Amino acid sequence: MNLHLSETHEDIDLDQHVALLRDEVNARLDLILQFLPAQQTGLCSAMRYSLLGSGKRVRPILCILVSEAAGGRGRAFALDAGCAIELVHAASLILDDLPCMDAATTRRGRPATYKKFGDATAILASIGLLNRAYEVIAEHSSTDDAIRTAAIRVLATAVGTDGLVAGQEIDLNERSAFTDASRVEGLNWLKTGVLFSAAAEIGAIAAELEPDAIRAVKRFSRHVGVAFQTADDLIDQEGELQSAGKDVRQDDYKPTLVSLMGKDAARYSCRQRLEEARAALAESNLDGALLKSFVDSILAHRTQG
């Protein structure tokens, strides 16, 4: 299935631009997790292992692209803030994979962090990554204090009881009783959408957009995030470990949009979400060509069929 938010733009080589952004993000992540020789412990190794493995870096790229869509205002901060979001994402994956959580053994084509370093070190690595994320934002001294404070608030909210940790708790202890798609979509928002929204909102904050434009960007990213998780559910049902890079069939006994609606309806839900995303982005008055093309590419890649 092709999920197009925009037509191809002849003046933009999306693949090349995204590849350059990914390289920039990876270089910055490597620098962010440089440790002194005296700090070279198993904890530091686990943190680097979890963060620097192969990843598409969708969230930091989204953050940067929002800044670029606003003419590049605040781009340097968007890069570091996007990297902070990637630190949080890596921390959440460590916890998600633990035997007491999702009990996954493979992540990004390699053994999950706890399989390589043990449960205790994996948990500590997650805590280390989470706190390093806040440091990265706070340390960006060339950015106005109000912008840094706002970014930290957005990220903390995305992680907390209105975001990731709430989503994982519901996933573990309430999801099995879900019988309607709306509750699953609400869970998808907490587990995946909140970090997409945080990435886009912080990019908008970095660019010092007006409140109405920030709200439109948040709506855009919310729809993208939920669509992304729906696509992930499709991969879980249809993918193979080698191509997915992680354990599949993890949700065979859990209600998902795929199990409740069927594969075709789940793909249609992605289309609907992307149409809503397109409308919200238009309301932001940003130069959204690259953003739309980027979202098109990541969703089309994840929802073939």
Q: pLDDT (tens digit, 9 = 90+) per residue, 249-263? A: 555 567 888 888 888
Q: Cα separation of 188 and 223, whole Å?
A: 11
Least confident of 34-38, 50-54, 172-176, 251-255: 251-255
pLDDT given for residue 19 in this prediction:
94
pLDDT given for residue 252 in this prediction:
59
pLDDT given for residue 249 in this prediction:
52
Question: Does residue 246 have a pLDDT over 70?
Answer: no
pLDDT given for residue 2 in this prediction:
39
Question: Does residue 138 have a pLDDT over 50?
Answer: yes
Residue scoring higher pLDDT (16 or 247)? 16
Q: pLDDT (tens digit, 9 = 90+) per residue, 172-216? A: 999 888 888 889 888 888 988 899 999 999 999 999 999 999 999
DSSP string for residues in 90-137: HHHHHHHHSTTTT---EETTEE-HHHHH-HHHHHHHHHHHHHHHHHHH
Q: Cα separation of 11 and 2, whole Å?
A: 22
Least confident of 34-43, 140-149, 164-173, 281-290: 34-43
pLDDT given for residue 6 in this prediction:
43
pLDDT given for residue 164 in this prediction:
94
Compute, in degrees rounded to 10, the torsion defined by CA atoms 59, 151, 207, 129: -40
pLDDT given for residue 21 in this prediction:
96
Residue at token pair 């493979």: 106
Average pLDDT, the chain: 87
Q: How confident is residue 239, by pLDDT bands cut at 50, 70 and 90?
A: low
pLDDT given for residue 10 in this prediction:
47
Q: State the number of CA atoms in the 13 A half-sphere of 135 facing the CB.
A: 9
Domains observed in the chain: 14-302 (1.10.600.10)
pLDDT given for residue 241 in this prediction:
45
Q: pLDDT (tens digit, 9 = 90+) per residue, 61-116? A: 999 999 999 999 999 999 999 999 999 999 999 999 999 999 999 998 899 999 99
Residue scoring higher pLDDT (238 or 272)? 272
Angle at 298 between CA 234 and CA 207, to 5 degrees: 130
Residue scoring higher pLDDT (191 or 247)? 191
Question: Does residue 117 have a pLDDT over 50?
Answer: yes
Query: pTM, whole model, 2 decimals?
Result: 0.88
Q: What's the token pair of residue 212?
A: 């109405």
The percentage of the chain sitting over the pLDDT mark of 90, rounded to a whole number, equals 60
